[in-house]
Amino acid sequence: MSNTIHLIARTIALPDKVELVKTILLELIEPTRQETGCIKYELLQNQSDPTEFTIVEEWASDETLKAHGNSAHLKTAVSKLENVIAGPLDVRRYDLLA
């Protein structure tokens, strides 16, 4: 069993802001993947509902996840998303069972 940190972050774009939200989220990928402790950072878009985006994350430790949360690129992206998503980001932490 892994001791790494697993997160799923989900957001819904406003219908007329899908491409803008996609652009903002895509801009997060490279700088996040270069962060110390980032094991996995994947952006998914729902095939049946293109307004729904999900980010699948895996981090080496709580400390590296906390550093990500304080990173300039994440804070900038969250700020840009403020008026173009349907509600607050839904971020959940999971335990890997198998």
Structure confidence by residue, pLDDT tens digits, 59-81: 999 999 999 999 999 999 999 99
What is the four-CA torsion angle of 7, 15, 32, 30, rounded to 10 degrees? 140
From 59, 39, 54, 58, select the one nearest 91 (Cα to Cα).
Answer: 54
Q: Predicted confidence band at 2 (pLDDT cuts at 50, 70, 90)? A: low
Structure confidence by residue, pLDDT tens digits, 5-51: 999 999 999 999 999 999 999 999 999 999 999 999 999 999 999 99
What CA–CA distance (Å, rounded) separates 91 from 12? 12
Q: What tokens appear for 75 in the block?
A: 């804070």
Show Cβ contacts of residue 79 under 8 Å, excluding neighbours closer than 6 positions: none
**Stated pTM of the model:** 0.93
Give CATH for domain 5-93.
3.30.70.100
- The domain segmentation of the chain, as residue ranges, is 5-93
